[in-house]
Amino acid sequence: MTNKQIRVFSGVQPSGDPQLGNYLGAFRGWVKKQSEKDNFFCVVDLHALTVTPSPEDLKKQTRELAAVLFACGLDPDQSTLFVQSHVSAHAEGCWLLNCVTPIGWLERMTQFKDKSEGKERVSTGLLDYPVLMAGDILLYDADEVPVGEDQKQHVELSRDIAERFNRLYGETFKIPRPVIPEIGGRVMGLNDPNVKMSKSFADIRGHAIRILDTPEEIERSFMRAVTDSSNEIVFSNSPEKAGVNNLLGIYKVITEKSEEEVEKDFASARGYGDLKKAVAEVVIEELRPIKEKYLELMKDVSELDRLLSVGAQQASSIAFLKLDQMKEKMGLILPVSKELI
């Protein structure tokens, strides 16, 4: 099998301003590997509905996220980028998979437990979120699903759902595998290094670096980052050093240096101020061309919309074939001619 035959699928929610964790844990790796594989990337707007954004915000964030992804280097000639709701097979596939997924599997998901904790009422959509995600992946017979560490459990659930469907109705789906970056898979919040950096918290002062932040905002957020009371700039697994470890981790992924080289860079630093400045600098330089390209793309939204329509057409040509296969296997009769509907 040549690598181009390896199909990759991944998604990202338009649920807020994309942040450094999205970039280092997901987007950067997608772009780096895109020439080697057959790639499908999706702005999962239906998933974002589970957190009930305002309609105006959702529209705006969907386009902005697509533009950020192109600006990060996703190339329409190498990768298909599309919006989930433009390919209705995703919603339909989710229903079919709902009917083979035990509720207990969904209630066990840590993301569901975290997001529903302390809430008096949660939507069915929040519980069903991983089934929609399984549909995203399985409709394309994806081999690999590159995601950050936090999504591993959901990809594993997609495997369980695929295996159950195959057992009940005969071989239908490929079993996908999660691909987690060795480093960058878990970037932590700058205000609290025990919590994953997340776009839903991007509004909290000092929590996240947004991909589109100005250099001044980036520097300010890093200078405010929580560290500890010692002044040792070394990689460490100890909980007290989680903040410093996070900063060193970010520096290491971007500079692509080894741990020894990174520690050497800071051997003569005078304290955490120097570390924070250096990390801010590499992040600012990494994000600068992305922001420039983003601003360029947002000047002509109709071209962006056109690219997304082409992406949706490419995705549809695969997704609807698989959807028909699922329907047939489950005993649904297909219409004789779709033109008559």
Residues that bind ligand LTN (CB under 6 A): 9-13, 44, 47, 133, 136-137, 145, 147, 151, 154
Task: Pick the closer one to ligand LTN by CB: 147 or 287.
Answer: 147
With CB under 5 to 8 Å by kind, the binding choice for 200 among ligand ATP, ligand LTN, none is: ligand ATP
Helical packing angle, 89-98 and 301-330, nearest 10°: 30
Instruction: Please identify which residue in 50, 151, 221, 246 interacts with ligand ATP, judged by CB under 6 A.
Output: 151
CA 223, 228, 231, 234 torsion: positive or negative?
Answer: negative
Residue 109 interacts with ligand ATP (CB under 6 A)? no
Q: How far is the CB of 328 from ligand ATP (least distance, A)?
A: 32
Q: Copy the structure tokens of residue 24.
A: 């280092």
Sheet holding 177-179, edge to edge: 79-83, 38-43, 7-12, 144-146, 177-179
Q: Copy the structure tokens of residue 20.
A: 């450094």
Residue 46 interacts with ligand ATP (CB under 6 A)? no
Radius of gyration of the chain measured on its C-alpha atoms: 21
Residues with Cβ < 8 Å from 118, sequence gap 6 or more? none
Q: How far is the CB of 72 from ligand ATP (least distance, A)?
A: 12
Residues assigned a catalytic role: 115, 196, 199
Residue 199 interacts with ligand ATP (CB under 6 A)? yes
Q: Copy the structure tokens of residue 147.
A: 């995601």
Among the listed residues 181, 197, 185, the one whose alpha carbon sits nearest the alpha carbon of residue 33: 181
With CB under 5 to 8 Å by kind, the binding choice for 221 among ligand ATP, ligand LTN, none is: none
Q: Copy the structure tokens of residue 118.
A: 């302390």
Binding segment for ligand ATP (CB under 6 A), chosen from 18-26, 214-222, 312-320, 326-334, is: 18-26
CA angle, 46 as apex, 338 and 153 as ends, to 5°? 115
Instruction: Please identify which residue in 164, 186, 220, 329 interacts with ligand ATP, judged by CB under 6 A.
Output: 186
Give residues in contact with ligand ATP (CB under 6 A).
12-13, 15-16, 19, 21-22, 25-26, 147-148, 150-151, 185-187, 196-200
